[in-house]
Amino acid sequence: MKKLLAVVLAAVMVLSLGVVSFAAKGDVLDDMTGVASYTPSLDMEITEADVVYDDGITQALNATSNIASDNTFYIPMTAFDTITLENGGAVSAGTAAVIQAALADSDITTFSKKYEEGGKAVASIKRDEYKINGVRTDAIEIALKEDLTDEETKVEVELRFNFRKNVSMNLANSSAIEKGTKATATLVFYVENGEMRLDDTATVGTSGVYAKAEKNEDNSLEWEDNNNTIAKLEFSANDDPDAFYPRMTTSWELAIGDTINNKNFEGTDAVVRAFRAAPVEIPCTSRASFYLYMPAEFGDDVDPADVAIYEVKDNEFVDVTSKFEYVETDEDGNDVDGFLTRTRTLGVYVICEKAVEETALVDGTPVPEKENPGTGR
């Protein structure tokens, strides 16, 4: 479950209303002739509402939560549910529903946004109909960028709606929102990655969390992909260990990108083990033990002596095979069947079943697609 950590949301909508005759609630009115306009205010607030993540998890908003980075979540239009007039009069639930429907309808209102702060943390904000938990729902979709730190970022953004058409609002007195009415909602929330303790297992591709070591203690972390352990880190932490971002990916595109050439590996089985925040500084007192397990993709016939390991450094694949040694067990006698190195940093590694002839990278050549039986995240 993706962790929702701190959110504060409030929206104020100011709508100009006009009085019309004989209109059904929610109808679009082409003719506003003879309408006596007046301009009360509608205050709309998101108090307690459900935020739905892209994996279907639903969690209530509250004043003590925040949102981890690299998440996509949805605020249903029905979250704008507390609506009162400037004079204190309440808007009925039926009228509120008409307003919500109008804000969701691109034929009736346009939608835009303006960031006051924290826009760097957001990839996109969109309004549309989304399938949430199997139900088509009008909502605001907010996609967050991946943050590789443990810092908190405040996001304040103004959501702007502009009415393109006249909309009937009240069957009893035939009031209407007039074309040209502008509505704004100020949305404030906080983005901060969650924390995971070491001596645990991280799933390859998991984002939105940072790791915190126990000071002056031995720490360890394993990475799993499809229930297979593919890497392990062991180290003694210093007395003031910094947090670090432990996300590992097995995706060539995420690890290497699409602007450099890895065609040198086309003639051999090769897998990538990459840290998204590379180079990752390990908060260790002495060099840490880092294990890269023999890839399951290689099968049982590969001789460990033939395996080559490369690390991406300064836009080159550097052969670091000599810095690794093959071991069948770790220092505690646990099975490893992998390659051990001593290091203070974690980077981007390519493990090949055999060495390749050339390893220089060339800018401008897209990365070819490679088979990856794992998640590839």
The C-alpha atoms of residue 154 and residue 116 are separated, in whole angstroms, by: 10
My answer on whether omega of the bond before 279 falls inside 30° of 0, hence cis, is yes
Q: Give me the pLDDT at residue 52, please.
A: 65
| Contact yes or no for 61/45 (Cβ under 8 A) | no
| Contact yes or no for 211/280 (Cβ under 8 A) | no
Q: Give me the pLDDT at residue 282, please.
A: 95
- Mapped onto helix, strand or coil, the DSSP state of residue 212 is strand
Q: What distances in angstroms separate CA 89 from CA 3, 18, 65, 86, 148, one per listed residue?
A: 38, 17, 31, 7, 47
Q: Give me the pLDDT at residue 174, please.
A: 55
Q: Which of 284, 118, 122, 145 is nearest to 211 (CA)?
A: 284
Q: For 177, what's the count of Cα atoms within 13 Å in the CB-facing half-sphere?
A: 30
- Mapped onto helix, strand or coil, the DSSP state of residue 70 is coil
pTM assigned to the model: 0.76
Distant-in-sequence, close-in-space partners of 193: CB < 8 Å, separation ≥ 6: 68, 69, 147, 149, 150, 208, 209, 210, 245
Domain ranges in the chain?
A: 6-191, 195-352
Q: What distances in angstroms separate CA 255 from CA 228, 247, 314, 349, 376, one per listed residue?
A: 20, 11, 14, 9, 10
Classify each residue of 237-253 as buried b or exposed e, where b means 16 or more C-beta atoms within 10 Å of its C-beta: beeebebbbbbbbbbbe
- Mapped onto helix, strand or coil, the DSSP state of residue 97 is helix
The distance from CA 93 to its chain's CA centroid, rounded to whole angstroms, is 34
* Average pLDDT per 10 consecutive residues for the chain, totaling 377 residues: 35 41 52 45 47 62 70 82 55 74 90 94 94 84 92 89 79 65 79 86 90 93 91 95 93 69 74 92 95 92 94 86 94 90 95 78 40 44
Distant-in-sequence, close-in-space partners of 112: CB < 8 Å, separation ≥ 6: 160, 162
Domain 195-352, CATH number (from 4.10.240, 3.40.50, 2.60.220, 2.40.128): 2.60.220
The distance from CA 20 to its chain's CA centroid, rounded to whole angstroms, is 46
